[in-house]
Amino acid sequence: MPSHPVRPVPLRQDALVIGLVGLAHASSHFAHLLLPLMFPVFMKEFGLSFAQLGLLMSVFFVVSGTGQATSGFVVDRIGARPALFTAFAFFIAACLLASIATGYGMLMAVAVLAGLGNCTFHPVDFTILNQRVSTPRLGHAFSAHGLTGNLGWALAPVFFAGISAISTWRVAYLCAALMYVLILLVLLVHRDQLRTEAVVRHADAPAGSDLAFMKLPVVWWCFAFFLLSTMTLAVVQSFSVSILKALHGVSFEAATMTLTAYMLCGAFGMFMGGFVAARLPAHSDRVVAVCMSVGALCMALCATGIFGATGTMVVLAATGLAVGIGGPSRDMMIKKATPKGATGRVYGMVYSGLDVGFAISPVVFGVFMDHGWYSATLLGAALVLLLSVGVALGVGHRTKPA
């Protein structure tokens, strides 16, 4: 008998799933800035030092990174949806606690709650996308995922600054809690679109089979890629404003706009990268390698100062475009390295490299900055990004079909 052709998944259905996951992802990036944006307020209100404020973020990333590596097992076992809804409960609790904070101890609790909320998102997001979005549209799905994350970062400063200006910082946190409640309601209404199949554990499965993926070298190569590439991003986020002011004497406003331009270029790059990833799914590692190489070259040239103040700001922003284009292909590269039935675990472990990179980079390059080695900081970030090129090609070599 002739076989019936498989009906393509309607675009509307895929778009809804991508939109819901993107909304959730944007909210997790928004949570990255729940505390840092209010650091000046906390210093004045509670008499805290830079070291104390920095420790808050260290706690956030340690909790998030540790939780991310382990939450993937939970996602594979119970499905992505319960873990996603639990994450929003943690975010709501963090915002409510922040709104009534009276000292450092309560802020530390906020950091822990926000870290617990943040830790589930990459295992959850990629499990839903890989199971619910049709294969031809996965490149665009990964593109939208990265793009919405950047938009979450961009929204947070406007949100908190705007509400604090017309009211108080405590009201801003209450409004953030309300925002998370509304997003959770949207996800609950469309919960059927977020359902994923849990991994069935057979009674005769050997002990430790859940950890078998950790014996695969390619998983650790992927982890290393995220660690290295994130170290470069952390340099841009943490030190680019200070570097531009020190090397070229630009104003604080101009330097800050450069950082904003970097993020916006990264978002636009991710949009473009979705088409590249969909067009070249078999060569995702090479796409990543080319994009990261271009980004590393741009950053290294910025370190030389040959472009002057304006040129350096433009080229540094263009670095975000190059890295952004490689984002969706990076996620396709990880997909190819993921064994069947281990999506949550692998993405959780691999993306915990992101938290480790964010935790290590400011410490390492902070020493450079303390010594006034501003050009060396940019050059070091470029070299680390270049190392990630070799790692990406290593991942590609280990995922080639036999």
The domain segmentation of the chain, as residue ranges, is 11-194, 213-402
For domain 213-402, which architecture applies? Up-down Bundle (1.20)
pLDDT by 10s per residue, the chain, length 402: 444 454 677 888 899 999 999 999 999 999 988 988 788 788 889 998 867 877 888 888 889 888 887 887 888 888 889 999 999 999 999 999 999 999 999 999 999 999 999 999 888 998 899 889 998 888 889 889 988 988 888 788 888 888 988 999 999 999 999 999 999 999 999 999 998 887 655 445 554 555 666 777 888 888 899 899 989 988 887 788 888 888 998 887 788 788 878 888 988 998 899 899 888 888 888 999 999 999 999 999 999 999 999 999 999 999 999 999 998 898 888 888 777 766 677 777 888 888 888 878 877 888 888 888 899 999 999 999 999 999 999 888 877 764
pLDDT of res. 207: 46
pLDDT of res. 212: 65
pLDDT of res. 337: 77
**162, 37 contact by CB (below 8 A):** no
pLDDT of res. 237: 77
Do the two domains 11-194 and 213-402 of this chain adopt the same fold?
A: yes
Residue 402 to residues 5, 397, 398, Cα–Cα distance (Å): 29, 11, 10
**Sign of the four-CA dihedral 276, 277, 278, 280:** positive
What is d(CA 114, CA 180) in angstroms, rounded to the nearest whole number?
12
For domain 11-194, the CATH class is: mainly alpha
pTM, to two decimals: 0.77
Of residues 349, 323, 346, 319, the one with CA closest to residue 335 = 346
**110, 97 contact by CB (below 8 A):** yes
Burial class (CB in 10 A: 0-12, 13-18, 19+), 242: middle
pLDDT of res. 388: 93
**Sign of the four-CA dihedral 20, 24, 30, 32:** negative
Residue 377 to residues 190, 250, 320, Cα–Cα distance (Å): 46, 18, 17
**26, 149 contact by CB (below 8 A):** yes
DSSP-assigned letters across all residues of 228-266:
HHHHHHHHHHHHHHHHHHHHH---HHHHHHHHHHHHHHH
Question: What's the angle, vertex CA 400, arms to CA 287 and CA 211, rounded to 5?
Answer: 105
pLDDT of res. 162: 87
